[in-house]
Amino acid sequence: MVWLPLAKARKILQTPKSPKRLWAPWRIGYLVGTKNSSARGCFFCRIQHSALDAKNHLLTRGRRGFSVLNRFPYNNGHLLIAPYRHVGRLGSLTAEEWLDLLELSKDGLQRLKRVMSPHGYNLGINLGRSAGAGIPGHLHLHIVPRWVGDTNFMPIIAEMKVISQSLDSAYSSLKWSRKGHAKKVRRKPRH
Ligand SMILES: [Zn+2]
């Protein structure tokens, strides 16, 4: 029999670290509730024609698209960037739409940086329902702000993700986060 030093034995028996994940089981309501992939009944098509941007958490309207807070976020400040047109394929986007989606992404990243100071971001597009697209008929880009340690024990033991800020509060902060606005208010208070 070979005896190992305790520290070495512990190291060998230690479960390898698994990659950290953002669990989002609450999104099933979103997936189930958005089966219709036609323009009629499409969330993105509906809110772009609404005048209630604050209620819909529509953040910025560009020339060819817009940004909106995800109602079923992976994390605080989870943004969706979508073209106005109801298209589901990358190849269907015009050059102007691509450019505007990038401009809107830049705008979203700047707002998130000013308000939430994330440590990093995940940007991505889910193409097709099998790839995780909740609304496959209307292409959209995800921006998920990330913080070191934002995956904790809650999603694992309670199948619950803690979103520490309400959508209304996050929307209000991001909407009015224009460059220099916060500094101006602090430096020149009204008397
Ligand atoms: Zn649509």
The pLDDT tens digits of the residues spanning 136-148 come to 899 999 999 999 8
Domains belonging to the chain, first-starting first, are 36-177 (3.30.428.10)
Ligand 1 centre from 87 Cα, in Å? 7
- Is residue 82 within 8 Å of residue 176, measured between CB atoms? no
pTM passes above 0.75: no
Active-site hit among 49, 140, 142, 181: 140
Distance in angstroms between the alpha carbons of the first and the last residue of the chain = 82
CB-based neighbours (< 5 A) of ligand 1, an ion: 39, 42, 44-45, 86, 138
pLDDT per position as a tens digit, 18-49:
555 565 655 555 544 444 456 778 999 999 99
Cα 39 to averaged position of ligand 1 atoms, centre (Å):
4
Centre of ligand 1 from the C-alpha of residue 70, in Å: 15
Q: 30 CA to middle of ligand 1, Å?
A: 15
With contact defined as beta carbons under 8 Å apart, do 152 and 117 qualify?
no
Least confident of 95-99, 100-104, 149-153, 154-158: 154-158
Instruction: Pick the range with the lowest mean pLDDT from 102-106, 118-122, 127-131.
Output: 127-131
The pLDDT-based confidence of 106 (bands split at 50, 70, 90) is very high
Quote the ligand 1 centre to 34 CA distance (angstroms).
11
Q: What is the rounded average pLDDT of the residues 99-127?
A: 95
- Spatial separation of the C-alpha atoms in residues 104 and 66, rounded to whole Å: 7
Distance 111 CA to ligand 1 centre (A): 25
Find the 75 Cα to ligand 1 centroid distance in Å.
Answer: 24
Answer yes or no: 140 catalytic. yes
Across all residues in the chain, what is the average pLDDT?
A: 79
